[in-house]
Structure 1
């Protein structure tokens, strides 16, 4: 039996509302309480809250792939293999930066969100 149920995954950032808007667009979710200054959540399309963003004064983004400022965590998002290029175009248009492409050798691509957190678009054969 589980001891607890996973609530949200919270990411430190300088601007919670802006980063929540980025991830809401990425997952097709909705920003909850965007007027809050220090804590904003994204509700997923299934109605569950999955991501939260908290303001941290003096925030320093992770350095990827280096460890001068460790990433501490990263998020993986599954994308059907046939849609990876379109997904990349969309996340770049939202403000992400490509950090490492797959060059046809791996099944994922690494990006940095607008606050510098690394995340991956992982290719899946599932639709």
Structure 2
């Protein structure tokens, strides 16, 4: 079945597009491929898998799971070794979220430097 549109990007609002792009570049091992003052892109080089970071001067950090400022999306990232991935993510600036809803430790929740949630998920 063909759709109306083709997926291009996931775009995250941030007060610091370059800084957040550098974080995800290190986390994913994807190079930064485009830099403007208000827009920075990292990509894996394949068909359209890319993250873009857009300047939002009025950005309000999400406070998930508090509904006052909920997350709008989160990324699930597959890892081969969750212990090693957690260690490395923390080293580059991730923060482990206090709320860990996985009862069987199949995933762990973290915050990026702008406060967006992402999960490291067991392969």
TM-score (norm 2): 0.90
SS at structure 2 position matched to 1:33: strand
1:101 to 1:86, Cα distance in 2 relative to 1, 3 A: farther
1:118 to 1:85, Cα distance in 2 relative to 1, 3 A: same
How many residues get paired? 121
| 1:78 alignment partner in structure 2 | 78
Task: Structure 2: give runs of 5+ residues left out of the alignment.
Answer: none
**Are the aligned partners of 1:41 and 1:49 in contact in 2 as well (CA < 8 Å)?**
no
Partners of 2:101 and 2:84 in 1: CA distance:
15
What displacement does 1:58 show? 2.2
| 2:52 alignment partner in structure 1 | 52
| 2:9 alignment partner in structure 1 | 8
Partners of 1:19 and 1:47 in 2: CA distance:
22
Task: Structure 1: give runs of 5+ residues left out of the alignment.
Answer: none
Q: 1:23-42, CA deviations, whole angstroms, 9 ceiling, x for partnerless residues?
A: 111111011223x1101110
Partners of 1:10 and 1:57 in 2: CA distance:
15
| 2:90 alignment partner in structure 1 | 92
Whether 1:30 and 2:31 are equivalent positions in the alignment is: yes
- 110-119 or 23-32: bigger deviation: 23-32
Whether 1:123 and 2:117 are equivalent positions in the alignment is: no
**Are the aligned partners of 2:8 and 2:48 in contact in 1 as well (CA < 8 Å)?**
no
Whether 1:19 and 2:17 are equivalent positions in the alignment is: no
